[in-house]
Structure 1
């Protein structure tokens, strides 16, 4: 959804911790331009940014500035060059230090283009600074992603890896460009649609629709619709909004808690969003054989799957840029002793209770496919053909583990319930 600056008011501020707005996006030029605008329009705001071009050599460059002056420019030698280690050992401690040395200032944390905001949230959840949680010193107010109208669709459809663009953070960083772009949008609570006055209005409208399909939970803030940018208005729309929900699960864990993973809008003439749900499991071989067809036209796919041959595990599914990723979301509740259900979130238990099946419990498939002009009927027919038939269901669940399974061993379960939180 888009919002009007005149209708947006931030709640009264009672929390004295500095508010941190995390700004991400895959287009460096658009992100930096948005950061400058927010910094100019913000009240007592500092921007912290990092240059990771030397991270593979153990070098991190940090810049801190206000709207009017450069406050800090430093080079840090890293012990570990991976992104998560850099966040835990350098970025978050610097953020806490900045909050302590500049009381009364909020912070705009500007991420490099290949960094996913979910990685920051994960680091915050599992890191201590001076023996205390990061959130004792700062409050993460909002996660904002800048979407560049000139390049977003190209990047979302790209088959490139980060390595192809020399953006990989380490030698073992094999992430795809499309995955990073999708994750940046999906994790955020606010999207800045960065465009220019000469951007085709129809293209801008289509971009807004695509972003809404990818992140229907996010507020959209359009720019570029005039020749001047209201920096104060932009800063008010993205700062001190309290939109971030630290308890919201990661995108792949949304359906387990009964939350929205996508809108269902099979518009054949525009941006198509197909939401497929089933209470019978997939046949593993037929599902495997159909993956190429399912994903060749989709810009993005995500959700949870129930595969008949592996009845204990909720399978995470995502695709982008032509690649497919599948993994474990942990046990279905029905596969756990009742006394262990309390190890999962209250929301997940409530969602399971509302949709509980007397035979199969909380097992179910919820899958979203998003793309341009997808054939809803053909996609649904293909997915239906991958489910167990009535005859296969009638054979009983004891027979299902013997089905031919190309995914055998791919989703190992541990003793952790694994609800895929960020």
Structure 2
């Protein structure tokens, strides 16, 4: 087994709550194998899995609970609404709390199905109550571990399929793509495993390890090439690596964190580039550039601003040749002073430190990762989308009148109230 990063911080021994490890990934077989390896190291470890095969058709979920000694529960539950969110609220969280209370000496591993994103579970744990008490009174999330199979990783990240194409959608209106979900699982994790037990280290594994590090540079990375239970358990269990206060990957730049790494020279063919600029994008030119940006790279994330909509932050995600953009709220420069306290202290401090006389806290921060693309060419495409000196001189009132293909695309409650 190859270790690619140093261990994270440990948890205070005074915290007696059972530790919950989330195993996520778009490789179910590898994820189950990782869970089995952990229970071999600790037979008292409880493993919880959910089979969502019948969720959409009948609203039924199968929950299986095991430990290293055998089966504990195997139940089918019919939910009022057949979707991932109700699965989490109505079955998963109550089951976790019940297990934590009935077996307080045993930690829990939750093996997530491919279509369930760990952020959904972590968020629900942070605010949901069970039997009138917060979920976090009964247990704590210790680590979020993404398990990646080298045999399928590249095809998954480059897939142009939606979850529905593989009958993995979490609800009837679930339009998420395979590549988006897989990338988010990797980016949200605090620990990333390249799962290759029994394989000899080779160039392809090295290339994929570099790719995973570029996709999630803030995580701990491990290459598992031997099925040795105690080695894996000692590096994953009770690591305390999960940070519930960490910002979303594409919103990290707003709070002063990097949204990615800048490694423009290929390493095993893997290229990563970070693009930053204060000027806004011209909406029409940026719209025309979308296929080029998404087509040349495997993954992109970050935030930006458009000249035609200068009050609002736009989130950016690209993967599998597709693009996802959404509203992230107002820039502080467009927010009344008495509403600044609604933003995090980190964001306010970051804005103060980098305030621009012309644009305030408005800034483009985009990170791209892929194979064999030229970082300078991507930067040139983005530069060509920026407002020119002459367009900047026209002023904000003129920008708002520009033809904007994105107009109405980023609806939110806040925008509807404007």
TM-score, normalised on structure 1?
Answer: 0.94
- 1:17 maps to 17
Contact 1:266 1:374 in 2 (8 A): no
2:358 is the counterpart of 1:359 = yes
Quick one: distance in 1 between partners of 2:292 and 2:154? 21
Point out where structure 1 has 5 or more consecutive residues left out of the alignment: 417-422
Change in Cα spacing, 1:369 to 1:4, as seen in structure 2 (3 Å) is closer
Quick one: distance in 1 between partners of 2:113 and 2:172? 18
- 1:394 maps to 393
- 2:93 maps to 92
1:54-133 equivalent positions in 2, closer than 5 A: 54-56=54-56, 57-133=58-134
Cα distance, 1:12 vs. partner? 4.3
2:291 is the counterpart of 1:292 = yes
- 2:208 maps to 207
What SS does the aligned partner of 2:400 have?
A: helix
Change in Cα spacing, 1:14 to 1:3, as seen in structure 2 (3 Å) is farther
Cα distance, 1:44 vs. partner? 3.3
Deviations 1:104-149 (A, max 9, x none): 1110011112211111122223321111211111111111110111
Cα distance, 1:6 vs. partner? 9.4
TM-score, normalised on structure 2?
Answer: 0.95
2:232 is the counterpart of 1:250 = no
Change in Cα spacing, 1:9 to 1:169, as seen in structure 2 (3 Å) is closer
Contact 1:60 1:77 in 2 (8 A): yes
Change in Cα spacing, 1:345 to 1:356, as seen in structure 2 (3 Å) is same
**How many pairs are equivalent?**
412
Deviations 1:199-246 (A, max 9, x none): 55111111111101111011012111x4xx210110111110000000
Cα distance, 1:268 vs. partner? 4.0
- 1:48 maps to 48
- 2:314 maps to 315
Moved more, 126-135 or 35-44: 35-44
Cα distance, 1:267 vs. partner? 1.7
Question: Structure 1 stretches (4+) deviating beyond 3 angstroms?
Answer: 2-12, 196-200, 412-416
CA RMSD of aligned residues (A): 1.7
Cα distance, 1:309 vs. partner? 0.8
Deviations 1:285-335 (A, max 9, x none): 000011111111210011101111101100001111111111101000111
Quick one: distance in 1 between partners of 2:8 and 2:138? 27
Change in Cα spacing, 1:271 to 1:212, as seen in structure 2 (3 Å) is same
Change in Cα spacing, 1:322 to 1:199, as seen in structure 2 (3 Å) is farther
Cα distance, 1:415 vs. partner? 4.0
Contact 1:221 1:237 in 2 (8 A): no
- 1:155 maps to 156
- 1:265 maps to 263
Contact 1:313 1:413 in 2 (8 A): no
Point out where structure 2 has 5 or more consecutive residues left out of the alignment: none
